[in-house]
Amino acid sequence: MRRIGRPRVKDRDAARIQRAGKRRGPRPVPLRRAGLAFLFIILALFAIALLPPWVARQTAGLRQEIQEVILPAQALATEIQSALAREVAGSRGFLLTGDRQFLDIVREAQAVEIRSVRALDPLARRLGPGVGAQVDTMERRIERWHALSDSLVAGLIAGERYVAALPEQEARYEAALTSAVRLEWMIEGLLVDRQAAIVAANRRGWIIGGLLVALALVAALDAGWLYRQQRRLTEAVEESRAAALRQARSEAALREAVSAVVAAATTAEVVRAIGARALVATDADGAFVARLDAARGELEVAAAAGSPAPPLEMRIAYRGSLSERVITRGRPEIVASPEAYPPLAELCAECSFLAVPLGGRDRPFGALFVVRRPSRTPFTSDEVERALIFGELATLAFRRLQLLETSEHRRLELQRLLESRDRLTRGLSHDVKNPLGAADGFLQLLEMGVRGPLNSAQREGVGRAREAIREAVRLLDEVLEIARAEAGQLGLTLEPAEIGHIAHSAAEEYRAQAEAKHLDLRVAIPEGLTTIETDAARARRIIGNLLSNAVKYTGDGGRIEIRVTERENGGAPRPGRWIAVAVTDTGPGIPKEKQRWIFEEFTRIGGAGAEPGAGLGLAVSQRLAHALGGAITVESEVGRGSTFTLWLPVEPPTGAAVAEAA
């Protein structure tokens, strides 16, 4: 999994620390005249009065941007990730169970994604061209991901064809989800920058106010006190420089810690990274992660670093714990005296603890604890804010990995189910064909009179029984052919073939049946058709199936036409040169709402009075067409007949072409 983050963070942080270290305090000034002291006091009081509005104006715009733009954009990005997960879960659920309620979940998730992207777009434009470009990238990838999902929801493709395209669909889903995560990280980075700017503005106001007060006091003192006050001011500035240096180092440590957590590839790695990097991000002595076991109502120490820290796998009750308190309240809490929490008191009775919730109220994961020894200063409000930011980003990383792990688990489960079904189909077909062959052989002996002469009625009955057995064997062969095609085990014998000759031969084979129903069977094959490389036997079988259906469903006195043409694009499955074999009949036609189902297994398209059949012919033909690098399309209108067209590429089919056609 690739690490998502802004480039060259360490370089910027190093430069910032270097600039903070080079700050110098002001030099001592000489004594000023007493008359100047009064002017300094007036100017200082005037500046102090103007300072709060100035700071408020500086921070108001940043706070407004956070509330009106950044936080809503962050929520929409999270909602898009959740909708993507629900959509893929719904599609997988439909493929696994066939329950169309899962398609409703897919539609709802797609609606949420579209609505969220539309709401996110104006906010992203306000956040800068980088965020806007990322939203455009995410939208394009979501549209590519929807391309096949929409076909599944609309029923334009079968579940088996959707499964065949799962590798590419998984890649599209991964790309869409990665774009959403990258967008969320960019928004998180903007949020951190704005919050840091607010803190910096408040700090500047405090420093300036202190300077003004100091100047006013200096101006009110006599000349000797002025010099001493100036020295104190110099010491204050030096302390400010050291604080700025510590702040820069702390922020750099926080960025490194967050990057390490986001780069973790598994849930266990995220937990370990949270525990280890929390020490650096919060400048603490010890840190540990208490993971919630909701089933047992306990907390387990899943990661620990530094000292003091409890042993791994230590368990305590969740109810009444500090973890329950911060998770319920949804914000960090400082505990300076841990007597109220015995597990913390046993760890270190005089230490200062900072507890940060992980996971949120709806899906709590646990809590992060950082500890400082009694010899050090307690945690400040700025450090609490940094710890909260670190905890929220760690929670996002954990949720992202949970979504990816859940998706991968479901994909593997679906793959195992499909493989089990294929093995069952192949084994069952093989085991059933053996007894049917034996029965047919025994009936053949009876028909030959080996067991005694048969009268005409008996001979007719034996003939019908043998015909039924042959039909059953043919049906099993078609089922086995479908299983081979779905498993990628359909062998092809590619050789130069004249499709016009194959189509004419197939038409002659069915001419007797057509004449028996008084059908006008016509064949239109132009001269000079390109010879293509294909599996002639498979192509003949497809054309034969299309002719068989046309003869079967066309009423007496109707018309059937076979037309072979060479085309370029023009209704073809994809760009290129094609040989098209169109079989047109004057049958009852197929309603538009049923056309998307006719290539499914065991689907009958005939109406009342049609000859019996298993509904496998078109399903087998479509899979064979895909294996040959082409496809079968249908155009039909109720009451006016149907046209089924077999498309075969002029160029030999390749693996990529077959995958695209499927």
- Alpha-carbon distance of 662 to 657, in angstroms, equals 9
Work out the average pLDDT over 262-272.
66
Q: Round the average pLDDT of the chain to a whole number and report it.
A: 76
| pLDDT tier for residue 3 given thresholds of 50, 70 and 90 | very low
Alpha-carbon distance of 451 to 442, in angstroms, equals: 10
Q: Over 60: is that where the pLDDT of 610 sits?
A: no
Instruction: Name the token pair of 16.
Output: 């910032």
Q: CB 329: neighbour CB atoms within 10 A? A: 11
Q: How far apart are CA 343 and CA 321, in angstroms?
A: 9
Measure the CA dihedral 460/465/468/470, to 10°. -100
d(CA 31, CA 17): 35
Query: Can you tell me the distance from the alpha carbon of 284 to that of 380, in angstroms, rounded to the nearest whole number?
Result: 12
pLDDT digits (tens, 9 = 90+) for 422-436: 666 656 565 666 676
What is the rounded distance in angstroms from the CA atom of residue 489 to the CA atom of residue 481?
A: 9
Q: What residues contact 506, with CB distance under 8 A and at least 6 apart?
A: 540, 543, 544, 547, 562
| Count of alpha carbons within 13 angstroms of residue 55, beta-carbon side | 18
* Structure confidence by residue, pLDDT tens digits, 286-323: 888 888 888 888 998 888 888 888 888 889 888 888 88
Nearest alpha-carbon partner for 348 in 360, 339, 361: 339
Confidence band, pLDDT 50/70/90 cuts, at residue 613: very low
Q: Which H helix or E strand runs over 563?
A: strand 559-568
Q: Give me the mean pLDDT over the 561-568 stretch.
A: 90
**Whole-angstrom distance, CA of residue 213 vs CA of residue 235:** 15
pLDDT at 584 over 90: yes
Whole-angstrom Cα distance, residue 207 to residue 483? Answer: 76
Bridge-based pairing of strands 559-568 and 520-524 is: parallel
More confident residue, 615 or 318: 318
Q: Where are the alpha helices (DSSP H) in 448-602?
A: 456-486, 499-516, 536-553, 592-595
Higher pLDDT, 258 or 321: 321
- Cα Rg of the chain (Å, integer): 38
Position 328 pLDDT exceeds 80 = yes
Residue 74 has pLDDT above 80, yes or no: yes
Q: How far apart are CA 36 and CA 233, in angstroms?
A: 19
**DSSP class of residue 556?**
T
Distance CA 529, CA 343 (A): 86
Pairing of strands 298-306, 577-585: unpaired
489 SS3 class: coil
Query: Residue 616 and residue 634: Cα distance in Å, rounded?
Result: 16
How do strand 577-585 and strand 641-649 relate by DSSP bridges? antiparallel
- Which of the 8 DSSP states describes residue 360? T
237 versus 465: the higher-pLDDT residue is 465
Neighbours of 194 (CB within 10 A): 18
The dihedral sign for the CA sequence 564, 569, 573, 576 = positive
107: phi > 0 → left, psi -120 to 50 → alpha, else beta; which? alpha
Residue 564 has pLDDT above 60, yes or no: yes
Q: What are the tens digits of pLDDT across the range 220-252? A: 665 456 556 666 766 666 766 766 665 666 666
Question: Which of 332-336, 393-397, 497-501 comes out lowest in average pLDDT?
Answer: 393-397
Rounded CA-CA distance 564/497 in Å is: 14
Considering 84-93, 162-171, 594-603, 635-644, the range whose residues carry the highest mean pLDDT is 635-644
- Structure confidence at residue 221 (pLDDT): 62
Query: For tokens 């050789």, what's the residue?
Result: 495
Per residue in 176-214, pLDDT (tens digit) is: 888 888 888 888 888 888 888 888 877 877 787 777 666
Q: Which amino acid is at 161?
A: R
Is the predicted pLDDT of residue 626 greater than 80, yes or no?
yes
In the numeric block, the tokens 């023009």 are attached to: 570
- Looking at residue 142, its pLDDT comes to 82
pLDDT tens, position by position, 632-656: 989 988 888 999 999 999 876 554 4
Phi and psi angles of residue 215, each rounded to the nearest 5 degrees, phi first? -65, -40
Beta strands in 313-391 (DSSP E): 315-317, 333-335, 352-358, 366-372
For residue 27, pLDDT beyond 60: no
Q: Label each residue of 91-146 as H, E or C.
A: HHHHHHHCCCHHHHHHHHHHHHHHHHHHHHHHHHHHCCHHHHHHHHHHHHHHHHHH
Q: Is 129 left (phi over 0), alpha (psi -120 to 50) or beta?
A: alpha
Q: Which of 56, 77, 23, 403 is nearest to 243 (CA)?
A: 23
- The answer, yes or no, to whether residue 615 has pLDDT greater than 70, is no
Q: Would you say residue 493 has pLDDT above 60?
A: yes
| pLDDT band, residue 607 (cuts 50/70/90) | very low
For residue range 374-402, list pLDDT tens digits in order. Answer: 888 888 877 788 777 777 777 777 677 67
Rounded distance, CA 328 to CA 364, Å?
9
Local structure of 366: helix, strand or coil: strand
